[in-house]
Amino acid sequence: MRQTLAKLGEVMFKGRMLGKYPIRRTRTFLESGEIVFKDRVKIMSVNYNVFEKNSEGARDFVFFHLPQVQYKNPEVQVVTFKNLTPSPFLKFYLDDGEQVLVDVEYKSRQEIVKHVKKILGKSDRELEEIAKSQQQSIHIANFGIKWPRKCICEIEGQLPCSSTEDFPKELRGKYQMKKRMEERY
């Protein structure tokens, strides 16, 4: 996986991004995350050892999936603890004070993602409902490339677009400044 990401990073971003596996910081990679937590989750802590064999999956989870989790869940505080416990685990603190402990010893990062998504992630149906409600919340006053109106000049009562019509000289800043300068001297 790391070799594939490295090759992809070399091809797409050659010379533009610095650091270890810079593709992890691209919007495309961050948006591809699978874990969107339920609203009850407030804090996620990850405990793992850097050099232990039993923490390899947790280490890879932190390296590849933690940025995606943070991007998809901005309201969740994420804390990592390195080399403090003999076995790796994830601990979730919920809004009612409950704590959920997930043992990740000798698990791969894919298994960790699948398990966390199953127990504390929103279901696909919930995510579809959220996306649908966001689509319906489009306000008629919005304009731009993503909206039904491309320019503010399409809204009734606004000035016409400068690309299609010339403004009167009285409305131009150049004309007004020139007029003021002539009045002074």
What is the average pLDDT score of the chain? 86
Residues 6+ apart with CB under 8 A from 138: 147, 148
Burial of 46 (C-beta count, 10 Å sphere; 0-12/13-18/19+): buried
Tens-digit pLDDT profile for residues 100-140: 999 999 999 999 999 999 999 999 999 999 888 877 666 77
Residues 92 and 47 in one domain: yes
> 62 and 113, same structural domain?
yes
Question: To the nearest whole percent, how much of the chain has pLDDT over 70?
Answer: 90
Task: Tell me if 62 is assigned to some domain.
Answer: yes
> Does the pLDDT of residue 164 top 80, yes or no?
no
Report yes or no on 139 lying in a domain: no
For residue 108, the domain's CATH number is 3.40.30.10
Question: Quick check: is 105 in a domain?
Answer: yes
Q: Is residue 131 part of a domain?
A: no
Domain that holds residue 84: 33-122
**Does 99 reside within a domain?**
yes
Residue 116: inside a domain, yes or no?
yes
Number of domains in the chain: 2
| Of 151, 94, 120, residue with least CA distance to 34 | 120
